Amino acid sequence: MDQTSPHDSLPRSYFVFSLLYGGMTVIAGVLAYKQFAIGPLVVESGILAFLLLVVLSSAVSQLHGKAAADRLVLWGFLPLAFSVALIGLVLLLPASPDMPAENLAAFERVHGQTPRIMAAGPAAYGVSLLLNVWIFNKLRGKGGKDGGGMWLMARGAIASAISQAVDTLIFITLAFYGEFPIGSLLVGQAIAKIVLSFVLVPFLILGAVAIARRLDAPRTGVAA
């Protein structure tokens, strides 16, 4: 059962995770401009923010149910849309004459994404995150059993791996199909994201659930 204080309208964990979730939807696109390598794996840095979206939505699904996690994903479109609109407005505003030309060029290069990429991101986000929540909840079993411990970690890894593969397929196809051959990029990115899903996500979900339970634990010594 969700634990709330008498003055809270939402479980504390849901409120805190929602704040973090909104921030990750906004920053993921910016981080994507840098690629990093871990051994043979090369992946765009936005995956780190995206994996946190997977972790947060999975933790919410575990503790507060699928409907709450679905709402989290759908509300995530709001900060994403506002950030895209605000970036577009800033790009249209005239730059200060005192701003160094190289700084302006770098800003416009990072934020002046093509319409295809700007459309591909939200489409991939919505489908893959809702799919992640659905798979994660489906693997829980009939009757809404707890499905914690090692099975919680396994469910998180499986759901993340599948949803990340789907995310890669949707985003790269919508953003780059017809511009250049995308086969090798699809395979490389999918493998990298699946590996990270199995290496990082299970432990992060376990930690997120533990943090959420502490946030939702009844507070002692607090006046009603």
- Rg of the chain over CA atoms, in angstroms? 19
Provide CATH code, domain 12-216. 1.10.1760
Q: What is the pLDDT along the chain (224 residues), one digit of tens a residue?
A: 444 444 457 889 999 999 999 999 988 878 877 777 777 777 778 888 889 999 999 999 999 999 999 999 999 999 988 888 888 899 899 999 999 999 888 888 877 776 677 777 888 889 999 999 999 999 887 655 566 678 899 999 999 999 999 988 888 888 777 777 778 778 888 888 898 899 999 999 999 999 999 998 887 655 44
CA–CA gap between residue 71 and residue 43 (Å, rounded) = 29
Give the relative orientation of helices 115-138 and 66-75 as an angle to the nearest 10 degrees.
170
CA distance 157 to 119: 27
